[in-house]
């Protein structure tokens, strides 16, 4: 569709129940108001569900799965967004993944795909420009992530792809949609949604040009600057990715999950990034289309029982959750376990959280080896965690309960185990605590008010939410930090959005619309809290600091005051509900009758 610079101008709708596909023009007003990615996806979900939000089963055929790019795709380091109703929380979830899909789908002539329905047997969607086919994929079903990727690329060597592994096929509630064999739409359960539709993969071979843009020279200038400067401005990220956090987040900021968050501090120097680099990495600078940061690292385990395992770097989140969180500090065991989550197509954050919670129940005698099929799930035992992980992905024994996520598992087991479940609104926390006050998540409302619960990339500050703009454009927050992203957006689209309009109207609008789904899913002011564990004092911390870290915890009264201050900044009432005046200012007056139920 002509007339929207920076956009292909179409969304591809795929109905797997009917076996039909249709290209639909994007309304230019919707494109400007919601841009793309996460915010456009939430708008599409809301238009599909509306007041019936609570009645939609996220794993039913009528559930909508959006696989979206954004106007920055093709021009910078861009990501794709899976946007869906989460089977963990019931709220709208936007989960980002790197890889080349976001650019390739736009080269094919679409700004994304909207999938509904469910096929009778496994299928994949093949897209080559105007050619769109729903093809048989029964032979691919049951293959793990590596096997699936190799099969797809052997048959379609020039394609990009999004697909699921056994975790998604078996509807593990924290399964991921994968790109390549190491990228993941990790948060919220996108893989389970895709699996419920019998959709194994989306395969795209786009051969057309990037969308026309409003101010080419301005865009080229930013692209050229980023190519030269980003690797130097973000030199440590370029060199080591986020792997360094496996040591520093615990040792320096005391905000890393250790033994299911019973601790947040450690000083185990053996997990410093330099040791991973020296021992494992064989390709230090690895980037997706349009990215000059190149923070990915490819490698292999060269010694020990897991020798020969080919890996992508264990980033901070994955390394923390299968390392210190499991009481494991051997770098080869950490890399192996992180890779196993990728192999099965599971979110290592949620999965590591769930298994850490299960290990604490074993530690406390609430669960025994008999509950784990004879496995002694002891801290530091990599083999035991690997065995229980396989039980989860195959839904065998207690793995079937754990596959539902930590909140549902705690509610199923009972015995007051919910107090050990580190989650917010059903979403397991990213590997950044708040008790020490030293990490970027230091605010008391960071997770408590996030529209995406425990998602560490969507934490809330009074009046805004981290990386919501990046999730909407869609770009990588690590890459885009030094870039004037609003200026780049305007150069691409010609929208002429001002900073005031963006921060005072557009971002609050996107947040309020996503919160509507949370309220209708039953998450109200009473649930705007941190996990129970964060009210417990930290048992230790770095001793050389002027202010002691040991003993710090969230004070409920301070938390309650901070929440009210955030409500005021957002324009909400004392129950966290947007006021009529706020909704009018945001252009969401039609939601007032819905929010009025909760005032």
pLDDT in tens, 353-410: 999 999 999 999 999 999 999 999 999 999 999 999 999 999 999 999 999 999 999 9
- Straight-line distance from the first to the last Cα atom of the chain, in angstroms, rounded to the nearest whole number: 42
Rounded to whole angstroms, the Cα distance separating 355 from 173 reads 14
What mean pLDDT is predicted for residues 216-230?
94
| 313: pLDDT strictly greater than 90 | no
* pLDDT score, position 348: 98
Alpha-carbon span 315 to 325, nearest angstrom = 14
Instruction: Cite the DSSP H helix spans in 123-187.
Output: 145-155, 166-169
More confident of the two residues 288 and 165: 165
Sequence ranges of the domains in the chain: 10-204, 243-428, 460-596
Q: What is the mean pLDDT of residues 477-500?
A: 95
Fold of the domain built from segment(s) 460-596: 1.10.599
CB-based contacts of 71, cutoff 8 Å, min separation 6: 6, 7, 35, 36, 211, 473, 489, 492, 493
Nearest CA to 26 out of 49, 44, 38 is that of 44
Strand segments, DSSP code E, in 292-389 are: 296-300, 310-312
Indicate the SS3 state at residue 230: helix
Q: Which CATH class is domain 243-428?
A: mainly alpha
* 488, containing H or E segment: helix 485-493
Return the closest-CA partner of residue 558 out of 435, 450, 413: 435
Average pLDDT, the chain: 96
| List of residues 6+ apart from 44 with CB closer than 8 A | 64, 66, 83, 114
Tallying the residues shown for the chain, one arrives at 599
Q: In whole angstroms, what is the distance from residue 87 CA to residue 89 CA? A: 6
pLDDT higher than threshold 80 for residue 546? no
**What CATH superfamily is the domain 10-204?**
Aldehyde ferredoxin oxidoreductase, N-terminal domain (3.60.9.10)
Distances in whole angstroms, Cα of residue 400 to Cα of each of 92, 179, 362, 460, 584: 24, 26, 17, 33, 46
Q: Provide the pLDDT for residue 261.
A: 98
Of 185, 128, 187, 130, residue with least CA distance to 158: 128
Question: What pLDDT does residue 288 have?
Answer: 87
CA 80 to CA 97: how far, in whole Å?
5
User: Of 118-127, 276-285, 403-412, 568-577, which gets the smallest average pLDDT?
Assistant: 276-285
Confidence of residue 579 (pLDDT cuts 50, 70, 90): very high
Q: What is the mean pLDDT of residues 538-551?
A: 88
Specify the pLDDT at position 1.
Answer: 38
Q: Are 115 and 14 a contacting pair, CB within 8 Å?
A: yes
The number of angstroms, rounded, from the C-alpha of 279 to the middle of its chain's C-alpha atoms is 29
Instruction: Tell me what the mean pLDDT of segment 62-79 comes to.
Output: 95
Contact 95, 349 (CB under 8 A): no
Structure token pair of residue 199: 């959709």
Give residue 282's pLDDT: 86
Express each pLDDT in 413-452 by its tens digit.
Answer: 999 999 999 999 999 999 999 999 999 999 999 999 999 9
Against a cut of 0.75, is the pTM above it?
A: yes
Q: In which band, very low, low, confident or very high, does the pLDDT at 2 lie, cut at 50, 70 and 90?
A: low
Residue 238: closest CA among 273, 178, 284, 181: 284
């Amino acid at each position: 569709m002509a007339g929207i610079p920076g956009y292909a101008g179409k969304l591809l709708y795929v109905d797997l129940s009917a076996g039909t596909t249709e290209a639909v023009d994007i309304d230019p007003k919707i494109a400007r108001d919601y841009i793309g990615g996460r915010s456009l996806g939430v708008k599409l979900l809301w238009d599909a569900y509306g007041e019936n939000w609570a009645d939609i089963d996220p794993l039913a055929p009528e559930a909508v799965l959006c696989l979206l790019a954004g106007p920055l795709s093709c021009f910078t380091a861009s990501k794709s967004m899976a946007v869906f109703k989460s089977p963990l929380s019931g709220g709208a979830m936007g989960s980002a993944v790197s890889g080349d899909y976001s650019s390739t789908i736009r080269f094919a002539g679409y700004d994304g795909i909207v999938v509904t329905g469910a096929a009778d047997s496994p299928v994949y969607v093949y897209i080559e420009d105007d050619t769109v086919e729903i093809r048989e994929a029964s032979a691919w079903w049951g293959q793990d992530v590596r096997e699936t990727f190799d099969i797809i690329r052997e048959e379609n060597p020039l394609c990009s792809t999004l697909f699921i592994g056994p975790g998604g096929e078996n509807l593990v509630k924290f399964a991921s949609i994968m790109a390549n064999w190491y990228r993941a739409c990790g948060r919220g359960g996108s893989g389970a949604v895709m699996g419920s539709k019998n959709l194994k993969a989306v395969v795209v071979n786009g051969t057309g040009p990037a969308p026309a843009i409003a101010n080419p020279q301005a865009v080229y200038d930013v692209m050229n600057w980023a190519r030269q400067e980003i690797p130097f401005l973000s030199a440590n990220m370029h060199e080591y990715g986020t792997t360094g956090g496996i040591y520093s987040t615990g040792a320096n900021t005391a905000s890393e999950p250790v033994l299911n968050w019973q601790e947040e501090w450690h000083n185990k120097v053996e997990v410093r990034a330099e040791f991973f680099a020296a021992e494992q990495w064989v390709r230090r600078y690895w980037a997706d289309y349009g990215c000059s940061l190149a923070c990915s690292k490819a490698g292999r385990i060269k010694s020990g029982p897991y020798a020969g395992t080919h890996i992508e770097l264990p980033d901070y989140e994955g390394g923390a959750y299968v390392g210190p969180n499991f009481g494991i500090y051997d770098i080869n065991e950490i890399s192996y376990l992180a890779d196993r989550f990728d192999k099965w197509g599971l979110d290592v954050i949620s999965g590591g959280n769930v298994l850490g919670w299960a290990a604490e129940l074993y530690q406390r005698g609430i669960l025994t080896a008999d509950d784990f099929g004879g496995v002694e799930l002891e801290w530091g035992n990599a083999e035991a965690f690997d065995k229980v992980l396989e039980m989860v992905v195959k839904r065998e024994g207690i793995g079937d309960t754990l596959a539902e996520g930590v909140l549902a598992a705690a509610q199923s087991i009972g015995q007051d185990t919910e107090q050990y479940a580190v989650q917010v609104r059903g979403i397991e926390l990213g590997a950044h605590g708040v008790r020490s006050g030293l990490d970027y998540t230091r605010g008391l409302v960071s997770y408590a008010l996030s529209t995406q619960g425990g998602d560490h990339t969507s934490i809330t500050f009074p009046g805004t939410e981290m990386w919501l703009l990046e999730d909407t454009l869609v770009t990588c927050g690590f890459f885009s930090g030094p870039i004037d992203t609003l200026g780049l957006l305007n150069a691409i689209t010609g929208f002429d959005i001002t900073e005031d309009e963006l921060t005072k109207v557009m971002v609050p609008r996107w947040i309020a619309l996503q919160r509507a789904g949370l309220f209708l899913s039953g998450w109200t002011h009473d649930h705007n809290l941190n996990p129970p564990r964060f009210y417990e004092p930290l048992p230790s911390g770095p001793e050389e600091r002027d202010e002691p870290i040991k003993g710090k915890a969230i004070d409920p009264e301070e938390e309650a005051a901070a929440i009210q201050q955030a409500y005021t900044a957002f324009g909400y009432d004392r129950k966290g509900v947007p006021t009529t005046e706020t909704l009018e200012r945001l252009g969401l007056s039609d939601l007032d009758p819905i929010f009025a139920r909760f005032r």
